[in-house]
Structure 1
């Protein structure tokens, strides 16, 4: 079973669906590689004129796959974070407009993934959670750049510190989401992408280029995040966060002091 489903319409709209439903589409190494390859191909394929990114079976993405983070050696942790950076930069560099259709949960890296897209459409039941601190980690996937650009530095800091949770209407009000689709995010995202696909491709690409993240700034943010995350991976707080997640209890970070 493919971890990333692809569907291309005759209009040139490519829908990429994260497909690890048993893990709420959490991102592991296989899915990172599939995303990177898919966006590289989309960038080069003249038939593709717009991309929709969604998740299978009612959820967008539960974040990084915590099971794959256990007992990481320093070398494995560095390789993981290099993978994250390469994938994030590839998505951001795609010249085609990319629309995130967020239903259900978008947590941690799932929020980062959504904010790498050009437009975020949230379904009525969507929930965005900056869940990193719950397991002793700091934000990655470019969120230290993209989140404050959307909600402001003070609110971004609060959300990251408190592992804040925003339901769809609040995410829209704060600027984390661009649109609330009561009738379903995926259909609305496909409709919006189809309209863009009908437009003049060079102009659409130029407009995206004018407004997208500076590649240099994003690369700097990802490098800064990786340095911080390496220290977090090695911390006793992360070990306690993983244990608490597995045991379905609240983490007690005080006992790690």
Structure 2
């Protein structure tokens, strides 16, 4: 039996690789459950400093598994997607940085998975989109909300209403992805970026992520208070002690030896 989700650990960087090549990595219920279990487990593992999602070098994820949607009732779909929100929220709120490494198609649920990540690094053949309106539905796993927050309401409506797909360079211009790199360098570039993040101070990154994510949906005075609380929480942390000590001793900090709940 094929393992639909592969997991690789490398020096603090964990890669979760979707592995349904015969289905273009379509997100079945079983695959989504496996992702959810892995993300929950890894979120409490302090040795994990960066989480990467990959579909390999042919396709990221072509969408949800359409065969599992046929004949579903509104009540059934609401219950199913109400459960799925715990998965998407767990990725978005993962306590360390997350990266989607995208080659080929990232459509529908594949796009929504990528939108939950902090960063998206893609190859030139990457195609990203939310084409659900083409089959008479709409994005239901956060696509309408996360895409609009990332690239703006008007641009998101254009993509979603028309069911458009966005090629790599256009996605870069929209701010939908962070960088486009040649496919032959995609794995190496993603690993290099992940390694840079893994060497950084983990707890400050976690607090900055909390401040950014929590602050974007509240009034500015509340967002600034969230920032101040997150900022103040860092003082006396292991990363703060290591960073200040390294500065005073005129050496490079070694944040990997810092141990705390981040």
- In the superposition, the TM-score normalised over structure 1's length comes to 0.79
1:150-189 equivalent positions in 2, closer than 5 A = 150-182=150-182, 183-189=184-190
Structure-2 change in CA distance of 1:153 and 1:216 (3 Å): closer
- Give the structure with higher Rg (CA): 2
State the distance in 2 between where 1:214 and 1:79 align.
29
2:133 and 2:101 mapped to 1: Cα distance?
Answer: 25
What is the number of equivalent residue pairs in this alignment? 216
Name the SS for the 1:154 alignment partner: helix
Report the equivalent of 1:234: none
Match of 1:4 in 2: 5
Residues 144 and 160, structure 2, Cα contact 8 Å, conserved in 1: no
Worse overlay, 147-156 or 101-110: 147-156
1:79 Cα offset (Å): 2.6
How far apart are 1:214 and its partner, in Å? 6.2
**Aligned match of 2:198:** 197
In 2, Cα distance between equivalents of 1:89 and 1:154: 24
TM-score, normalised with respect to structure 2: 0.78
Secondary structure at the counterpart of residue 212 of structure 1 = helix
Superposition pairs of residues 16-35 of structure 1, within 5 angstroms: 16-35=16-35
Distance 1:213 1:171 in 2: 25
Deviation for aligned residue 1:206: 1.4
Task: Tell me if structure 1 keeps the 8 A contact 2:64–2:108.
Answer: yes
**Which residue is equivalent to 1:60?**
60
**CA deviations over 1:29-69 (Å, ceiling 9, x no partner):** 10111111111111100111101101035100111110111
Matched residue, 2:213:
212
The SS at the match of 2:8 is: strand
| Separation (CA, whole Å) in 2 of partners of 1:74 and 1:198 | 46
**Which structure has the higher relative contact order (CA within 8 Å, separation 6+)?**
1
The gaps in structure 1 that reach 5 residues or longer are: 218-257
| Pairs within 5 Å for 1:108-119 | 108-119=108-119
What is the CA deviation profile of residues 203-246 of structure 1, one whole-angstrom value per residue up to 9, with x for unaligned ones?
121122222366989xxxxxxxxxxxxxxxxxxxxxxxxxxxxx
5+ residue gaps, structure 2: 219-262
Q: Is the 8 A contact 1:21 1:57 kept in 2?
A: no
Q: State the Cα RMSD in Å.
A: 1.8
